Chain A
Amino acid sequence: MPDFADIWYVLFLRDYNTRLVVICTILLGCACGLMGGFLLLRKRSLMGDMLSHATLPGVGLAFMLAVSLGGNGKSLPILLMGAAFSGVLGCWAVLCIRNHTRIKDDAAMGIVLSVFFGAGVAVLGLIQTMPEGSAAGLESFIYGKTASMVASDFQILVIVTISVLICSLLLFKEFRLLCFDEAFAAALGWPVKFLDVLLLALVTAVTVAGLQAVGLILIIAFLITPAAAARFWTNQLDRMLLLSALIGGASGWLGASLSAFFPRLPAGALIVLVAAVCFVISMLIGTERGVLVRYLHQVQLKGRIGRQHLLRALYEILEGGRSQGELALRPVPFRQIRGRRTWSDAHLRDYIRRAYHEGLVEAPTKDDSIQLTVAGLAEAAHLTRNHRLWELYLIEYADVATSRVDRDADMVEHVLGEKMVAQLESKLQTYRSAGSLVPESPHPIIPGD
């Protein structure tokens, strides 16, 4: 087991052997994370899947071509050019199938993926029979062999990723617009088609660059996982993209460092698993859309609805149809409340118990009656007022209301603004002095049993 000093040594790039690898994977992670963010928002995550599979025949053919022309088949620039070429061809084929036939997006990607990959396998099969074949080492493109890379390979990788990063930062505003609202972007006069192709070209570039570092299958993870993880933490596009690039970079850094300690384990797999762990953690505890947060919201919402219903029911019973005057506190029979709602006894008692702990109702009496406390009455009046204001708002501004109504907002004023609420209040008053509760309760008042 490596000791702490060793870990420190590697993590902070003091170790010459791993420094290059780690820097490269960090850069690659950032670039993939950023591009993946755009892909995710355009619901095109599996485009990366298709792209990376589609590069295989290009790699093989480039190798064969180079060898038959007497060159060095293993020269990385040549192989990458071949990969990029067949990747672009694959993208074009997908768009062709999708636009000209009734075949849907997913099937179009699947067709191109499998046929191109099959062609790649066939080409590799040919290379196996070549005398130079054994030396090809093209397998590393499928599984990724960071260790087999040489210094010049790293230079290419660094150049590609950095230029992709710069490009996407320069075009950040345009890409953001494209992801957010394509039609709007087109209406503003942006060359949407061109931007789309440019985005795919940049994705192709990072995919191809990452092929040898993490392998054909695992580069897919680099394009999808960090972006999906970032989505759980924020609803803002800029932050999400930044976070996605950070998670990608961090996964690259940790994964590559880990592989320095376990040289037998493939670096690509470690990187992907680190990213997967990031994803799982984000999915569970992400502050904006995480599972836990949403579950808590759900439970809270149910509790809040129950509490509101209870207090409002109590208030309306006390009010008893009168619209004027102060309300007197008096005990309300349990059964009368139950008659107003579809609660089971257990649910109602649960809501009452919670209201009791909040100090909103007195302890239930022996004959099963519930009485609001003074604080409870104030809260119930507040809730009922909010509720009526919302209903009034729905009536007065029905055409615009539905998207703005937030009945659970603590204060109506926070959503609608002071002025609007004052206006609604005065309307409520006029209705009240006219002797009717506004709005008329849509529930027929069922007088208990």
Chain B
Amino acid sequence: MQNEQTVISPKSLPLTIRDLTVAYHRKPVIWDIDLTIPEGKLVSIVGPNGAGKTTLIKACLDLIPRSSGEVSIYGQPYKQARQRVGYVPQRESVDWDFPVSALDVVAMGTYGQLGWFRRVSKRSKALSMQALERVGLADYAHRQISQLSGGQQQRTFLARALVQDADIYFMDEPFAAVDAATERAIVEMLKEIQERGKTVLVVHHDLATVPQYFDWTVLLNMRVVAAGPTDEVFNQQNLRRTYGGKLTLLTQAANEVERSR
């Protein structure tokens, strides 16, 4: 199949999705997804509950089977581009009672490059420590992870992604259940990552902050409603097409858009 690929997915494009359909049981969950993300963007993926945001990310990372379509990362299928991808799963997906310290969790980010049998080196330990410093958790490095607050746990996950030193990041709701200060800190970090030319895709819930945080937006509701620069696609019409017309939060969001312009 590979040699017949007619799709143009240039090596400079971090993510190209063509014709992606994912179906559970007998219903398609997301369908006809065509998406191209340019390099160096901070991308929000927004949509109502059950719109398939997590499914989209997991399908990109080969974590769930696709019914049709293809995903390429920097022009390559996921298997070959693995080293260039960083992933931040939802916070609830792991057991926080697990006997590891924050530093251990961050060091896991280097495992992918290490390969079998090799142990975590002093250098990667130092890298992990630096990452923790960058998210402001250096003092908590040796704490067991269940003793961190929700926001600190989230920042530990982000530090782990930093250590992965990827070119494209997939983050599943990094802002879920964090306080305002943490949220600002996380946004700062994301912008910093972006400044280094990396691409970040973030599943996001809070419409009000979309224009403020992200310069590229994907509106998703089982299929892509709109995708593009935030100030072009994040408007009342597209939001109504994504969320339906009855949400008061839409007007709020729209006001926010107005203000940010």
Q: Are A401 and B4 in contact (CB under 8 A)?
A: no
A284 at interface by CB-CB < 8 Å: no
Select from chain A the residue with minimum beta-carbon distance to B224. A442
A306-B68, A342-B69, A397-B244 in contact; A407/B27 too (CB < 8 A)?
yes
Q: Are A443 and B241 in contact (CB under 8 A)?
A: no
Residues of B within 8 A of A306 (CB): 68
Q: Are A342 and B221 in contact (CB under 8 A)?
A: no
Segment with Cβ contacts to B, from A189-197, A297-305, A360-368: A297-305
A399 at interface by CB-CB < 8 Å: yes
A41 to B242, CA, bound (A): 36
B180 at interface by CB-CB < 8 Å: no
Q: Of B23, B31, B224, B246, which contacts A399 at CB under 8 A?
A: B246
Segment with Cβ contacts to A, from B44-52, B191-199, B206-214: B44-52
Q: Are A305 and B50 in contact (CB under 8 A)?
A: no
Q: Mark A282-322, 1 if CB is under 8 A from B, else 0.
A: 00000000000000010001100110010000000000000
A449 at interface by CB-CB < 8 Å: yes
Segment with Cβ contacts to B, from A53-61, A171-179, A388-396: A388-396
Smallest CB separation, B226 vs chain A (Å): 8
**Which residues in chain A, 424-449, are within 8 Å of chain B measured between CB atoms?**
439, 442-444, 449
Q: List 16 A-B contacts (CB under 8 A).
A: A102-B146, A297-B26, A302-B68, A305-B28, A305-B68, A338-B6, A342-B19, A342-B69, A343-B68, A344-B1, A395-B241, A401-B222, A402-B222, A407-B31, A443-B32, A444-B34
Smallest CB separation, A411 vs chain B (Å): 16
Select from chain A the residue with minimum beta-carbon distance to B70. A342
Smallest CB separation, B183 vs chain A (Å): 25
Residues of B within 8 A of A449 (CB): 6
Q: Are B97 and A342 in contact (CB under 8 A)?
A: no
A418 at interface by CB-CB < 8 Å: no
Smallest CB separation, A322 vs chain B (Å): 21
A302-B67, A342-B18, A398-B221 in contact; A405/B27 too (CB < 8 A)?
yes
Q: Are A443 and B34 in contact (CB under 8 A)?
A: yes
A125 at interface by CB-CB < 8 Å: no
A47 to B194, CA, bound (A): 51
A197 to B25, CA, bound (A): 36
A367 to B5, CA, bound (A): 21
Q: Are B67 and A398 in contact (CB under 8 A)?
A: no
Residues of A within 8 A of B246 (CB): 399
Smallest CB separation, A230 vs chain B (Å): 20
Residues of B within 8 A of A301 (CB): 23, 26, 67
Smallest CB separation, A189 vs chain B (Å): 30
Taking beta carbons and an 8 Å cutoff, which residues of A are in contact with B?
Answer: 102, 104, 297, 301-302, 305-306, 309, 338-339, 341-346, 391, 394-403, 405-408, 439, 442-444, 449
B78 at interface by CB-CB < 8 Å: no
Q: Are A442 and B50 in contact (CB under 8 A)?
A: no
B181 at interface by CB-CB < 8 Å: no
Select from chain B the residue with minimum beta-carbon distance to A439. B241
B82 at interface by CB-CB < 8 Å: no
How many interface residues does B have (CB within 8 Å)?
40
Highest count of chain B CB atoms <10 Å: which of A302, A338, A346, A394: A394
A193 to B43, CA, bound (A): 47
**Which residues in chain B, 1-48, are within 8 Å of chain A measured between CB atoms?**
1, 4-7, 18-19, 21, 23, 25-28, 31-32, 34, 48
Residues of B within 8 A of A341 (CB): 19, 68
Residues of B within 8 A of A395 (CB): 225, 240-241, 244
Residues of A within 8 A of B136 (CB): none
Residues of B within 8 A of A339 (CB): 6
In the complex, given contacts A398-B48, A407-B31, what are 12 additional A-B residue pairs having Cβ atoms less than 8 angstroms apart?
A104-B97, A309-B19, A391-B223, A395-B244, A396-B244, A398-B241, A400-B244, A402-B49, A402-B221, A408-B26, A408-B28, A442-B225
A403 to B244, CA, bound (A): 14
Q: Are A442 and B23 in contact (CB under 8 A)?
A: no
Q: Are A398 and B242 in contact (CB under 8 A)?
A: yes
Smallest CB separation, A102 vs chain B (Å): 5
B63 at interface by CB-CB < 8 Å: no
A102 to B196, CA, bound (A): 42
Q: Of A343, A391, A396, A408, which contacts B27 at CB under 8 A?
A: A408
A400-B244, A408-B26, A449-B6 in contact; A305/B51 too (CB < 8 A)?
no
B247 at interface by CB-CB < 8 Å: yes
Highest count of chain A CB atoms <10 Å: which of B69, B70, B243, B244: B244
Q: Are A406 and B244 in contact (CB under 8 A)?
A: no
Q: Of A391, A401, A439, which contacts B244 at CB under 8 A?
A: A401
Highest count of chain B CB atoms <10 Å: which of A102, A104, A305, A306: A305
